Amino acid sequence: MSSSLLLLLSLFFLSSLSAAVTAQLSALPSNSSTVYDILQEYNLPPGILPDTVKSFSVASNGYFVIDLYGECYVDFEYVVYYAPRVSGFLGYDSVSNLEGIQIRSYLIWYSISYIKVDLPYSDFVYIQFG
């Protein structure tokens, strides 16, 4: 197996997880009230996060930290694991340097390091892992 692979996931599965959870804000690019609103401002689907967000912060450079109520597993086409704390950098249409998210392919767990969506918007999310 190569050390990094691109995986296409349908937004149909991702959008089923979106929810409006109110959270704490700090240094946000706008007056958004939820982490899911922030994701949409960056052209990212809200379903890339589970609905168990307890709190979050986003710095002016795009660095974010998200605390969940606990670890969780979400079954898309593949099982995705979210640690109690997820962090990385937001960019328009992408999330990079991700920590705290893994995907299982067959019996092996891989860390997800990068998420990107198409511009103009399409029904696919590209995930780099390995």
Is residue 90 very low, low, confident or very high in pLDDT (cuts 50, 70, 90)?
A: very high
Residues 52 and 74: beta-carbon distance below 8 Å = no
* pLDDT score of 8 more than 70: no
Q: Domains along the chain?
A: 5-117 (2.30.240)
What is the C-alpha separation between 96 and 42, in angstroms, rounded?
13
Tell me the C-alpha to C-alpha distance, in Å, between residue 77 and each of 4, 116, 122: 18, 17, 18
Q: What's the chain's Rg over C-alpha atoms?
A: 14
112 bridge partner residues:
129
At 45-65, the pLDDT tens digits run 888 999 999 999 999 999 999
pLDDT band at 31; cut points 50, 70, 90:
low
- Give the residue-averaged pLDDT of 57-86: 94
How does DSSP assign 37-104, residue by residue?
HHHHHTT--GGGS-S-EEEEEE-TTSEEEEEESS-EEEESSSEEEEEEEEEEEEETTEEEEEEEEEEE
Q: Around Cβ 113, how many Cβ atoms within 10 Å?
A: 17
Nearest one of 79, 81, 83, 80 to 66, comparing CA atoms? 83
pTM reported for the whole predicted model: 0.73
Q: Which residue has the higher pLDDT, 50 or 22?
A: 50
Phi, psi of 22 (to 5 degrees): -75, 140
